[in-house]
Structure 1
């Protein structure tokens, strides 16, 4: 085992994902450990950590496992060493553009929700403020 591989505990610490979540993503085929130790432990490379970070960033935006799989397939194709024609590259970029647009829309929705939540909290603080007596 070289220093380029990490065990699941280190990956969990770096990604702030639980061991259970990482194993779930493995079971669903989103992230497959790059190797196994002689003892059968999962070993992860930097590319695996990068995939987990993409998934971690998609999750709070409400993307499904299938959508995550689709985006990762597109980015895998773009990141591969395979020479892509202009048409193939454009075809691979289309889902990335679509996901970027969806992400931007969901971020805007979250900003609106956050603003409403902050307004609500401010209203509650107003009710908790001491009332001056005249």
Structure 2
């Protein structure tokens, strides 16, 4: 494999191990333009950089919060623009704040759902204890 300034390029199997995503999921995100392999080997294998893996980590963290593919793409582009110093920094930070607010609201909703689920499980446990 070839070297990049940030590290070694890795094949999709290694990316799957690093991220905990399946090969199928990684290919799905590639098909939808969320991550594009940095290169291909002479044999045609996808080769991913550390930046590609980092993009997949962001996607993986957004998924359970219910972000759409379009929202994921928007945030990934926003983060890349911020890293590159492209565009109006104040505007980019405002958009990032909107994503942060959305993520925080979704985390709160998940915590509320978890509390309901835990309450239900406790109710069932109580019924089991009462029947002994």
TM-score by length of 2: 0.92
- 1:36 equivalent among 40, 51, 70: 40
1:64 aligns with 2:68: yes
Tell me how far 1:2 sits from its aligned partner. 2.8
Counting matched residue pairs gives 128
* Match status 1:121 vs 2:112: no
After superposition, the CA RMSD in angstroms is 1.4
User: 1: distance between equivalents of 2:116 and 2:94?
Assistant: 34
Note the C-alpha offset of 1:91. 1.4
5+ residue gaps, structure 1, are: none
Q: Which runs of 4+ in 1 moved over 6 A?
A: none
The reply on whether 1:9 has 2:18 as its aligned counterpart is: no
Structure with the greater alpha carbon radius of gyration: 1
Q: 1:55 aligns with which of 59, 66, 89?
A: 59
The TM-score with structure 1 as length reference comes to 0.90
Which blocks of at least 5 consecutive residues in structure 2 are unaligned?
A: none
